[in-house]
Structure formats: structure tokens, C-alpha cells
Amino acid sequence: MRKIEFLDTSLRDGEQTPGVNFSVQEKIDIAKQLEKWGISAIEAGFPAASPDSFLAVSEIAKAMTSTAVTGLCRCVKGDIDKASLALKDAKYPQVHVFIATSPVHMEYKLKMTPDEVIASIAEHVTYARSLFEIVEFSPEDATRTDKDFLLKAVQTAVDNGATYINIPDTVGYTTPEEFGQIFKFLIENVKTDHKIIFSPHCHDDLGMATANTLAAIKNGAGRVEGTVNGIGERAGNVALEEVAVALHIRKDYYQATSDIVLNRTKTTADMISRYSGLSIPKNKAVTGGNAFAHESGIHQDGVLKNPETYEIITPELVGIKFNSLPLGKLSGRHAFKEKLKELEFEFTDEELNQHFANFKKLADKKKEITDEDVRALILGHNSAD
């Protein structure tokens, strides 16, 4: 069975969501959680975009122990130099170079001819490869690019040393059948003397990002790109938790699985939701509040007789625990400590005592203390006084 790598771009493409602006500290917290979740590479930002973006990428580079860290660059030498500087302390550095290849982007945005775009790919992938062992290349708007020109662009990147080829469905235009065919065509026709891995990068404008990503896997992709909760430009990126769970539940169909630690999914999704300020829709697949709720009598009856009648995913699989430890004013230090462990907080005894005292004050005022209340208390967003 193939193992699919996961690249998370919540901190780069995800931060392009209107109104979302993570602080450097929030980005470091998120990156650490993504590493625990089993993400193999984090796109930590666009180092040339701003001093804060540069700082976040360099701090994340230092903080990661097993996860690779990458930064986005245009086909501009200065961008690649900035990325090289920001990623100098990464244990596993990568770089991601992109340029648009569709007619509308080349003519109106880049104001470059197709030949100039090909020359730029050759020049900048070569330059990136002189500074990094692992170079990812993306032909932006690939799904609206002429098929033979796409092959030429990808072949040029591979000939000049690219190791990952990412195929972005930049405007969420493609369909599963069509996207699968693009992967099949490229994988069959790109000639290479070194190992290359293809990946999909799907946007959700037509609501097909998960289906398109899975179609790419079915047709040979070895890595997927996306964000937690599907945050991102416009309708967002593919939600990685949906891809991870689909691969797990339908592994026989896809003949592929991943290293994602599924029971850390809910904690990861909640953190992104809290820091982005974007709540998870109730009916969201995998992590929504209603994803495991059964309302109709027939469904309730079936689930009580055997949960498998209407549940293909158990809440425990993705780390959702129903009232496992309801907390209230009678709860003791032990139960509180267990809850913190469940929510993946770690404290010294002294810190724990302080948080427990605050919890007791809050519990005096509130009948039931939810997981969100505990998180807010710990992160200082909610005062017990």
C-alpha cells in the first residue's frame, strides 16, 4: 500500500483567507500541532512577502524536528535567496517555486510569452536547486493550461532538478475525471533520471477539492497539499482532514494511506478554528458538530442497534470524545489534569495548580465547563475573575 505524504499550507495559502492574520506565535503553535498530527511538510509562508512572514518561516524552521519546512517563492532570485536565509536552520528544508502557465495568466498578469515563461522556469528552478536539495515547482493555474504546454513546463522544471511537481487547480475549475487524467498524462509522459513526486493543490470553488485531490491520488500522486478546515482564498483549499479520513476509510479502494495521526484531527481543527476566528460549520465533514449526530427516529434506532448502520467514521477515530470527562464545580484536580492531557496541554505542577485555581473560580460561575472553556482559560482568553 502506498503512503501519501501530506503538505500543509494553512500558514501560507490558508492565511490568504480574507480576514485571517496569524501572529508569529500562533504560527509556531500551529506548526507544532501540525507536526504532532503527522504532517510531513509545512509551507510556513512566503518569506519575501513581509518581515513577519520571514520571521515566522525562520522560527518554524528552528522549531520543527521531524517535519520538513518550505517557503513559497515566485520565479524571482530575490525570493529564493530570502527563502534560503529563512530556512537555513531547518532540519529538512524545501523550497517551492511557482509561475503561472495558463494563457490568461501569462498574457494579462505576467505579460510574458510562453517561451519567456519556459526560460524563467529553467533559470529559477536551476537557481533554487543550487541552494536546496528538495525543490518543488508549481505551474500556477495548471488546470486551465494547454496540456502540451503544461507538459513542457513540467519537463523543464524536472530537467533542471525539481523533485516535487505540484499541479495547482488555482481557481477550483477542474473535475475529478479531468484532474485524474492530467496526473495520468504527466506521470506517463514526463521523462526523468531522478525521483519525482507529483502532488495536487486544489481549491474548492466548485466544491470539488476533496474529490479532485483523491482523483489525483488514484492516478499516481504521492503527496497532497491543502489546509486544515479548508481555509484559504475564496472558497478555500482542500480540507486535509477530509483527505486523510477518506484515505483511511477507503484505503482498499485507493490502495494508499497516510501517516496522519487521525485521533489528533479534532484538536488540530479546533486550534485552526480558534486562531483563524473561523468556526467549523456544523455540517462540515469529519469535524463538524453534527458529523456524528443522528436526528431522525429511523437513524437513531439503527445506530442504537448497531452504529455501523449509519456511521462510517467513529467520533473516536478523529479524536472527538463525547462528555468523556464532564467538568463542573465538583471536579477535582485529577479530572482537570486528565482533561488538559486530552486537550494536549502540558504543564509543570506549579502551572497546573494555578490553572486549577482559575478553573475552580470559573466552575463556581458556570454549570458546565466545556472543552472550549478550558482552552480559553488556559490561553488567557477567558477570565475566571
Q: Which residues bind ligand KIV (CB under 6 A)?
A: 13, 72, 98, 138, 140, 168, 170, 201, 203
Which residue number, 30 or 99, has a Cβ lying nearer to ligand KIV? 99
- Smallest gap from Cβ 50 to ligand KIV, in A, equals 16
Min separation Cβ 227 and Zn ion, Å: 9
Residue 72 beta carbon to ligand KIV: minimum distance, rounded to whole angstroms: 6
> Any contact of residue 140 with Zn ion (CB under 5 A)?
no
Residue 193 annotated as part of some ligand binding site? no
Which residue's Cβ has the minimum distance to ligand KIV? 168
Nearer to ligand KIV, 167 or 362 (CB): 167
Report the residue number, 138 or 156, with the smaller CB distance to ligand KIV: 138
Q: Which stretch binds Zn ion (CB under 5 A): 8-16, 24-32, 144-152, 187-195?
A: 8-16
138 makes contact, choosing from Zn ion, ligand KIV, none, with CB < 5 to 8 Å by partner type, with ligand KIV
- Whose Cβ is closer to Zn ion: residue 38's or residue 232's? 232
364 labelled ligand-binding: no
Annotated binding residue 237 = yes
Least distance between ligand KIV and beta carbon 49 (Å):
12
Burial class of residue 372, CB neighbours in 10 A (0-12, 13-18, 19+): middle
Q: Which does 140 bind (CB under 5 to 8 A by kind): ligand KIV, Zn ion, none?
A: ligand KIV
169 belongs to the binding site for Zn ion (CB under 5 A)? no
CB of 357 to ligand KIV, least distance (A): 46
Q: Does 79 bind Zn ion (CB under 5 A)?
A: no
Ligand-binding site membership of 13 (annotated) = yes
Q: Which residue is nearest to Zn ion (CB)?
A: 13
C-alpha to C-alpha distance for 287 and 285, rounded to whole angstroms: 6
Residue 379 beta carbon to ligand KIV: minimum distance, rounded to whole angstroms: 30
Per-residue x/- track, 11-30, Zn ion (CB under 5 A):
--x-----------------
256-258 and 2-8 beta bridge pairing: parallel
- Binding site per annotation, positions: 13, 201, 203, 237
- Contact set with Zn ion (CB under 5 A): 13
Residue numbers in the known binding site for Mn(2+) are: 13, 201, 203, 237
